[in-house]
Amino acid sequence: MAADAERHTRIAVIGAGFGGIATGLRLLRAGHDDFVIFDRGAEVGGTWRDNTYPGCACDVPSHMYSLSFMPNPTWTRSFSGQAEIWTYLRRCARPLRHHLRLGHEVEAAVWDAATRRWRITTSRGEHSADFLVAAGGPLSEPQVPALPGLDAFGGVTFHSARWNHDYDTRGRRVAVVGTGASAVQFIPHVARDAAHLAVFQRTAPWVMPRRDRAFAAWERRLFARVPAARVLARAGVYWGRELAATGFLHPVVMRVAERVARRHLAASIADPKLRRALTPSYRMGCKRVLLSDDYYPALTRPNVSLVTHPIASVARDAVVTADGTRHPVDAIIFGTGFHVTESPLARRIRGADGRTLAEAWAGSMRAYLGSGVTGFPNLFLLLGPNTGLGHTSVVFMIECQLDHLLDLLSHIDAAGGGAWEPTPAAQESFVDHVDRRMAGTVWQTGGCRSWYQDRTGRVSTLWPGYTWGFWLRTRRFSAAAYRRAGPGTVPS
């Protein structure tokens, strides 16, 4: 019994990236110290621990891509690189060292109605908790396409999120599959050393100038010594990014940004044929807008070719496209994104009626405030359905959700504890609101198919509004949106 007691905590958190670290810090500040944070890695950091590919950096300005209550006055650039962000996260996590359970991959989390607890199976043992916070993050499980013949390929393959640093691309024939956010960052680095680089593009992305720069020494001193300067810098970034959201919500406005992107393309690519191949055929914002100053120039190098024919199969030493062309390669690097709408974690969480979260969602994620799901008592999702963003920092959304989590915990404590879940009406009302707002956005009307959409066609990943609107919703806690969960309650 003693061992069982040691393995029970009030709150269990899955993931020690931005979401898990922020959760732990906010819990401590609110006086909740009975919690553990599980993570499969040997270190904290999540996405910024795992993505170590050359050129990895954030596309949200540094002062906005940090926790408001843990500012970092020492950012060296306007857009921080992976190593600097990871260092920041490890520093943030120092107060959590006694709560971290690193090297613990959560294999299953099952709601036990009899004990009103979550039964959690990790790679290193069994645990239980009254509350479960899933902070695994949407960009944590790499996605590799099931290309015919890939298993028989005789060369080296890896995904950008699992970069093989032991493989030297110098003098090699390299294929890069995908031209998304990660690919446009590492392609320029691979292009410098590879004997030949073939970039396989399915859909041309919209690319805007990055305009990154190093902060001057006087700026860093100012941020360190005058907190108000740091606050003003963050506020400037925040409201500037909020203004940019207008184009996503009202697609006609995007024409202005498209003109900037077209000028950027024209200034970078002189060859009209290549320029046509790199010109998107959909409204900007429908897919993720990319920031880069060196991606286009990399494609003009004599050792780089852009391939726009679809991949038909992979041979032992080549990638074969639909037009029958064999592209000899020694290595294939996948810049093909992540399982966002079909998260493996959703298949490991099982609710009150025995169904997994994935089964309950049936291909389309739904949650009240992107956080709670009817039929899954005392479960809280961080960066859950419809909390992603196309224009600014998701760290802001995490903080909004944590405000709501702390209000929910206070409500439960005041009500005498127990198991709680969103009412079916509250969840349905929120999802209906999201879908109505989403209908006119660029993500639904922009003429593309993107990872923002799930297999049913819904955009179940993004918030269809300004972030201050989400802040207002999470700032006002509604007790009526929740009910006690028991044997007599069933999900709608």
Give residue for tokens 């897919």.
287
pTM across the whole model? 0.95
CA-to-CA distance for 116 and 412, rounded, in angstroms?
14
Q: For residues 464 and 445, is the Cβ–Cβ distance under 8 A?
A: no
127 DSSP 8-state letter: E
Q: What is the pLDDT of residue 487?
A: 60
Query: All domains of the chain, ordered by start, with CATH?
Result: 2-44+93-141+339-484 (3.50.50.60), 150-212+223-334 (3.50.50.60)
Structure tokens at 273: 């044929």
What DSSP assignment string belongs to 19-80?
HHHHHHHHHHHTT---EEEEESSSSS-THHHH---TT-B-SS-TTTSS-TTS--TT--BSS-
Choose among 48, 83, 291, 286: nearest CA to 185: 291
CA-to-CA distance for 450 and 448, rounded, in angstroms?
6
Q: Where are the alpha helices (DSSP H) in 415-460?
A: 424-438, 442-445
Q: What is the pLDDT of residue 486?
A: 74
Helix/strand number for the chain, H first, E second:
15, 20
pLDDT tens-place string over residues 286-315: 999 999 999 999 999 999 999 999 999 999
pLDDT tens-place string over residues 241-250: 999 999 999 9
pLDDT tens-place string over residues 338-355: 999 999 999 999 999 999
pLDDT tens-place string over residues 146-157: 999 999 999 999
Helix (H, G, I), strand (E, B) or coil at 38: strand
Q: For residues 465 and 249, is the Cβ–Cβ distance under 8 A?
A: yes
Q: For residues 89 and 44, is the Cβ–Cβ distance under 8 A?
A: yes
In which residue ranges of the chain is pLDDT below 70?
A: 1-6, 487-492
Q: What is the pLDDT of residue 5?
A: 41
Backbone torsions φ then ψ of 90, nearest 5 degrees: -65, -35
Please name the residues in contact with 324: beta carbons below 8 A apart, sequence gap of 6 or more.
none
Q: What is the pLDDT of residue 489?
A: 52
Helix (H, G, I), strand (E, B) or coil at 370: coil
Q: Quick one: CA dihedral 310, 272, 169, 294, positive or negative?
A: negative
Q: For residues 73 and 84, is the Cβ–Cβ distance under 8 A?
A: no
Q: What is the pLDDT of residue 2?
A: 38
Question: Quick one: which H or E segment has residue 243?
Answer: helix 227-249
201-233: buried (b, 16+ CB within 10 Å) or exposed (e) per residue? bebbbbbbebebeebeeeeeebbeeeeeebeeb
